[in-house]
Amino acid sequence: MSDISIDEGDWIAIYFSNNRKYIVQVRKNKFLHTNEGTIDLSNLIGIRYGSKGITNIGEEFTITRPSIIDMYDVFRRVTQVIYPKDASQIVVLAGIGPGSRVVEAGTGSGFLTALLAFYVRPSGRVYSYEIREDVQKVAMENIEKIGLTPYVTFKRKDVRKQIDEENIDAVIFDLPDPWNALINAWNSLKNGGRLVCFLPTINQVEKVVTEMMYRGFLKIETKEILERAYKVKKGETRPETIGVIHTGYIVCGIKP
Amino acid sequence: MSDISIDEGDWIAIYFSNNRKYIVQVRKNKFLHTNEGTIDLSNLIGIRYGSKGITNIGEEFTITRPSIIDMYDVFRRVTQVIYPKDASQIVVLAGIGPGSRVVEAGTGSGFLTALLAFYVRPSGRVYSYEIREDVQKVAMENIEKIGLTPYVTFKRKDVRKQIDEENIDAVIFDLPDPWNALINAWNSLKNGGRLVCFLPTINQVEKVVTEMMYRGFLKIETKEILERAYKVKKGETRPETIGVIHTGYIVCGIKP
Amino acid sequence: MSDISIDEGDWIAIYFSNNRKYIVQVRKNKFLHTNEGTIDLSNLIGIRYGSKGITNIGEEFTITRPSIIDMYDVFRRVTQVIYPKDASQIVVLAGIGPGSRVVEAGTGSGFLTALLAFYVRPSGRVYSYEIREDVQKVAMENIEKIGLTPYVTFKRKDVRKQIDEENIDAVIFDLPDPWNALINAWNSLKNGGRLVCFLPTINQVEKVVTEMMYRGFLKIETKEILERAYKVKKGETRPETIGVIHTGYIVCGIKP
Amino acid sequence: MSDISIDEGDWIAIYFSNNRKYIVQVRKNKFLHTNEGTIDLSNLIGIRYGSKGITNIGEEFTITRPSIIDMYDVFRRVTQVIYPKDASQIVVLAGIGPGSRVVEAGTGSGFLTALLAFYVRPSGRVYSYEIREDVQKVAMENIEKIGLTPYVTFKRKDVRKQIDEENIDAVIFDLPDPWNALINAWNSLKNGGRLVCFLPTINQVEKVVTEMMYRGFLKIETKEILERAYKVKKGETRPETIGVIHTGYIVCGIKP
């Protein structure tokens, strides 16, 4: 992957001035058909990121490298996926950064896996557990699409039975019953390591917090992140009318 | 800074089983006085992270390495500081990760600077602009405390007049009048780069969005992140009664 | 309208045990067709409220008198209608109760008119201004449906030009430009009377608050009422996923 | 209580142009001491509502009749009191209006009692149950202050043991264990009558909803009302920084 010119196999973002964006993988003899016209992707190989082009009907576009958030547009979804508002919060709460070694379960469609892999680069690693083979396969393909495979170890194992890694910086559970994997998380974490659970119902929160306290986790916090989008226009600014009002609760604790 | 044993000069986190946490810098002949008793910090030099100790009155504690979020406890504050809920969102929205080159203004007390530096490690860099010398000095001290100085270039310059860097991945403005620095942000950003502005009033949002549209930024989004903390206790679970209900709005756009 | 038995012309609520509710006006030779079967409404005339019946396919139902909130199901809508969460707040903030004399503009579909009329009974009165004849006609029919016509004076006049009434307890504006009617509201209100404006954008809020301060209104407050609905089920309790996140802002002030 | 001139014993609202408000009972030989100077209340007896006066240091004030919401300033508090945002919602959800017959428990400091009494006037009635004599005494004094005693029957009885009234329009429970009084509420309510419970924890919500479903209540809804206050100033408009983020959940159901 060259940093300045487009290679075959690169995923690219194509922007039109009307705010439309397309994320696509460049292949020889592949065409992108849009409302703004058709683009022959073969022609893009070798040109520089940031270049402009025009479609067959004369619409101008700009090519950029996709951001990590653009994965939300290109990933195939086979499970409920975590929202950016929650994913970003989990990463920071868990203290995850370059070099971190993280255990995650379940992998699901791999959205959180991707974000974790993005942040632990280049020297860290994500150990992502998933029990369903079909789901894991989709996640692997998704992670491959954005070039983050080198930072992820996929495991088809049940964290409720075993976590192989030790001295881990953070454990992230997006599981229906994280309490059944608490002892494994505890043993896997280093001192000062963080456990973060993401849970849709308040009953799950109550159960896992109770168990985490019993197990000895400290600084246990429960929070919910709400996002409000605005329609901004001169003289007519207001929040969006309809939106997501609940995704899940985030529980975080420290192994002392 | 050894990765496994405590050196003089290290910042450490000391946890007691009652959930109290202390963040302190280890120095010879320095004592930490707490409600749980006194700790002679000289004695901690050379011991391993994760070790346990007892205070002069017999209370047991555990020593861990502080996380990036612990900086909120040790940083000196001379300006309004950005909350983790907003900072984490900004980092992810801006697509900032290991290797990113980021321009930030103003530096303020350096909280966002620290988080940005933490995430661009080891090969990226934060160029942080601040016009007030006294404020910049505090930020420099704060960043030094947590060992992130190698990843930050502090500049005492006005981004409204000039941004020196080019081909930047993201520009983050926590300024009262970001519209006055928009052209400099545009010129500094690479194609596909993100501009993120953090603004307390809706009037500022309206003004900067209008100007960003005029300037040619695409995919302009405005959002507000709200955090709700919960008191979780078996059979008595409820949200906290009082809390922060507003910090600021986040505006994000892409240079195509 | 008898208080205990159903008369022809009464609006009734029919409840099935599956939580379905139907609001219908009783007429001779009229049939209600539902998923739970058909009901011959002629047969309901003269029976007591609270009675049970069965449909032609054997489903049992209970008949009750509709509540004021049920009007949301039976009113014809020709304009954006105010939500119960906002309407109830406006009524209480404005100090409106039995005996109050209230000016309202515009009438719209008559939802707020209905609630106001319901609360000022039996000795108060609502003076409801609307400039569009077609809209006013629908509101009149809606108000008639629930028997509140005796408490409302409909006016097809522009409050920006004139408000006829004096010594009014409260003025409620659901108008795009309430600032153009402020002087008329002031002159119409008694001392200690309340003006309440309902506005979708923050720009309108800023403009009307500025003008209200200039005009001499005191205790000016601006608030937004957010409602969060929950799915409650043993062991699976959580907020609804999608919902309304914005309707409008409520501005209230007192004429001293 | 004359409607136009001030009598001894009246509660009045005194407004200064700086937005300060004082609620006080007029008595002979009583003085009100404020930051804006002293007012001899004897002098106000017999003058008209809406009149202006000046303090001993020359500050002008206006006298108005207090609104129902002003009770929040004059009521003595011996229990947690219900907020206007919740109280107004409860009144409307329960379908309470002029003429309604309402059972309420517990009385507490009487804030909700006052609002209910205000709305059922002149022909309705509030039956307010409280088991603690000291609490009930304060509520009685509070209700007397604003002249609503004629519409309230205070009962020192336990609704979990018995509710005396039948054919009631609405039952409002602000109790820690409403499920223990559900059968009495059911028997007391008329067909189509509403039960509304106000509860601080989600566990109580889950328990009462489960029991209400079992008991046969229909259209059971659970909602939370959140209020966001704004600081509105030309060019500097933003929500308040700190606020109440949780009071309680409102559960409503209908007896079919």
Condensed to tens digits (0 to 9), the pLDDT of residues D17-27 reads: 877 889 899 99
Q: How far is CA C147 from CA C47, C97, C105, C143, C152, in A?
A: 20, 18, 21, 6, 11
pLDDT tops 80 at residue A1: no
Show the tokens assigned to C123: 């000795």
Question: Is the CB of A121 less than 8 angstroms away from the CB of B98?
Answer: yes
pLDDT band at D3 (very low <50, low <70, confident <90, very high): low
C99 contacts C127 by C-beta, under 8 angstroms: no
Return all residues near D153 (Cβ < 8 A) that are at least 6 apart.
D125, D126, D127, D128
ipTM confidence: 0.90
pLDDT tops 80 at residue D188: yes
Percentage with pLDDT > 70 across chain B: 99
The subunits that touch chain C, with at least 3 C-beta pairs less than 8 Å apart, are A, B, D
Q: How many CA atoms lie within 13 A of D186 on its CB side?
A: 15
Q: Can you tell me which residue has the tokens 């509709």?
A: C66
**CA-CA distance, A87 to A90, in Å (whole number)?**
5
C:D CB pairs within 8 Å: 177
Segment B51-80 shows an average pLDDT of 87
Q: What is the pLDDT of residues D35-54, one digit of tens each?
A: 999 999 999 999 988 888 99
Q: So what's the pLDDT on residue D2? A: 44
Q: Can you tell me which residue has the tokens 């107004």?
A: D88
Q: Which residues of chain C are within 8 Å of residue B206 when distances are taken between CB atoms?
A: 203
Q: How far is CA B219 from CA A1, A16, A19, D66, in A?
A: 26, 10, 6, 51
Query: How far is C-alpha C179 from the chain's CA centre?
Result: 23
Q: Which residues of chain C are within 8 Å of residue A237 when distances are taken between CB atoms?
A: 201-203
Question: Is the CB of A192 less than 8 angstroms away from the CB of B122?
Answer: no
pLDDT band at D1 (very low <50, low <70, confident <90, very high): very low
Q: In chain D, positions 89-148, which contact chain C (CB-CB < 8 Å)?
A: 89, 91-93, 95, 97-99, 115, 118-119, 121-123
Show the tokens assigned to D211: 């029991």
Q: So what's the pLDDT on residue C2? A: 45
D26 contacts D10 by C-beta, under 8 angstroms: yes
B195 contacts B252 by C-beta, under 8 angstroms: yes
Low-confidence ranges of chain C (pLDDT < 70): 1-3
**CA-based nearest distance B132→chain D, Å:** 23
Percentage with pLDDT > 70 across chain A: 99
Return all residues near C39 (Cβ < 8 A) that are at least 6 apart.
C14, C31, C32, C53, C55, C56, C61
Peptide bond into D106 cis (omega under 30): yes
**CA-based nearest distance D80→chain B, Å:** 12
**CA-CA distance, D195 to B206, in Å (whole number)?**
45
Q: What is the pLDDT of residues C33-46, one digit of tens each?
A: 999 999 999 999 99
Question: Is the CB of D232 less than 8 angstroms away from the CB of C226?
Answer: no
Q: Where in chain A is the domain with CATH 3.40.50.150?
A: 70-254
Three-class SS state of A208: helix
Residue D254 contacts C, CB cutoff 8 Å:
yes
Q: So what's the pLDDT on residue A3? A: 59
**CA-CA distance, A221 to B69, in Å (whole number)?**
13
Question: Is the CB of C91 less than 8 angstroms away from the CB of D89?
Answer: no
B22 or D180: whose pLDDT is higher? D180
Q: What is the pTM of this model?
A: 0.92
**CA-CA distance, C50 to C39, in Å (whole number)?**
16
Lowest mean pLDDT of B55-64, D71-80, D116-125, name the range. D71-80
Q: Which long-range contacts (CB under 8 A, 24 or more apart) does B30-36 make?
A: B36/B61
Q: What is the CATH code for D70-254?
A: 3.40.50.150
Segment B143-161 shows an average pLDDT of 95
Segment D224-243 shows an average pLDDT of 95
Question: Which residue in chain A is spatially nearest to D201 when comparing CA positions?
Answer: A202
**CA-CA distance, C40 to D247, in Å (whole number)?**
46
**CA-CA distance, D22 to D75, in Å (whole number)?**
13
Q: Quote the DSSP letter at residue C207.
A: H
Peptide bond into D192 cis (omega under 30): no
Question: Which residue in chain C is spatially nearest to B202 when comparing CA positions?
Answer: C202
Segment A135-149 shows an average pLDDT of 93
Query: How far is C-alpha A255 from the chain's CA centre?
Result: 25
Q: In chain C, positions 188-207, which contact chain B (CB-CB < 8 Å)?
A: 202-203, 206
Residue in C167, C96, C157 with CA at minimum distance from that of residue C128: C157
Q: Which residues of chain C are within 8 Å of residue A228 when distances are taken between CB atoms?
A: 245-246
Q: Angle CA(D107)–CA(D108)–CA(D111) in degrees, nearest 5?
A: 85
Show the tokens assigned to D164: 């005396």
Question: Which residue in chain C is spatially nearest to A236 when comparing CA positions?
Answer: C201
Q: Quote the DSSP letter at residue C7.
A: P
The 3-state secondary structure of A53-114 reads EECCCCCEEEEECCCHHHHHHHCCCCCCCCCHHHHHHHHHHCCCCCCCEEEEECCCCCHHHH
Residue B244 contacts A, CB cutoff 8 Å:
no
Residue C47 contacts D, CB cutoff 8 Å:
no
Q: How far is CA A231 from CA A239, C223, D207, in A?
A: 6, 19, 40
**CA-based nearest distance B224→chain C, Å:** 12
Q: What is the pLDDT of residues A14-32, one digit of tens each?
A: 988 877 889 899 999 999 9
Q: Which residues of chain B are within 8 Å of residue A232 when distances are taken between CB atoms?
A: 205-206, 209-210, 220, 222, 251
Question: Which residue in chain B is spatially nearest to C201 when comparing CA positions?
Answer: B202
**CA-CA distance, B128 to B136, in Å (whole number)?**
9
Provide the total of helices (H) and of strands (E) in chain D, helices listed first. 6, 15
Segment B130-141 shows an average pLDDT of 96
Return all residues near B14 (Cβ < 8 A) that are at least 6 apart.
B21, B22, B23, B24, B32, B34, B39, B61, B62, B63
Q: So what's the pLDDT on residue B2? A: 45
Q: What is the pLDDT of residues A186-237, one digit of tens each?
A: 999 998 899 999 999 999 999 999 999 999 998 899 999 999 999 999 999 9
**CA-CA distance, A180 to A159, in Å (whole number)?**
9
C113 contacts C104 by C-beta, under 8 angstroms: yes
Sign of CA dihedral D15, D16, D20, D23: negative
Q: Where in chain D is the domain with CATH 3.10.330.20?
A: 11-66
Residue in D145, D226, D204, D208 with CA at minimum distance from that of residue D171: D208
B235 contacts B227 by C-beta, under 8 angstroms: no
Probe site for chain D from A199, A202, A230 (most D CB atoms < 10 A) = A202
Question: Is the CB of D246 less than 8 angstroms away from the CB of B237?
Answer: no
**CA-based nearest distance C229→chain A, Å:** 9
Probe site for chain B from A232, A238, A250 (most B CB atoms < 10 A) = A232
Q: What is the CATH code for C11-66?
A: 3.10.330.20
Show the tokens assigned to B144: 């030094």
Write the residue in D203, D228, D237 that is nearest to B236 by C-beta: D203
* Parallel/antiparallel/unpaired status of strands A11-16 and A21-25: antiparallel
Q: Which residues of chain D are within 8 Å of residue B236 when distances are taken between CB atoms?
A: 201, 203
Question: Is the CB of D240 less than 8 angstroms away from the CB of B245?
Answer: yes
Probe site for chain A from D201, D202, D207, D246 (most A CB atoms < 10 A) = D202
Write the residue in D191, D192, D232 that is nearest to C209 by C-beta: D232
Return all residues near C226 (Cβ < 8 A) that are at least 6 apart.
C85, C245, D225, D226, D227, D228
Question: Which residue in chain B is spatially nearest to D231 when comparing CA positions?
Answer: B201
Residue C165 contacts B, CB cutoff 8 Å:
no
Q: How many CA atoms lie within 13 A of A137 on its CB side?
A: 3
Q: So what's the pLDDT on residue B64? A: 84
Q: What is the pLDDT of residues A101-117, one digit of tens each?
A: 999 999 999 999 999 99
Q: Which residues of chain B are within 8 Å of residue D246 when distances are taken between CB atoms?
A: 228, 238-241
A103 contacts A171 by C-beta, under 8 angstroms: yes
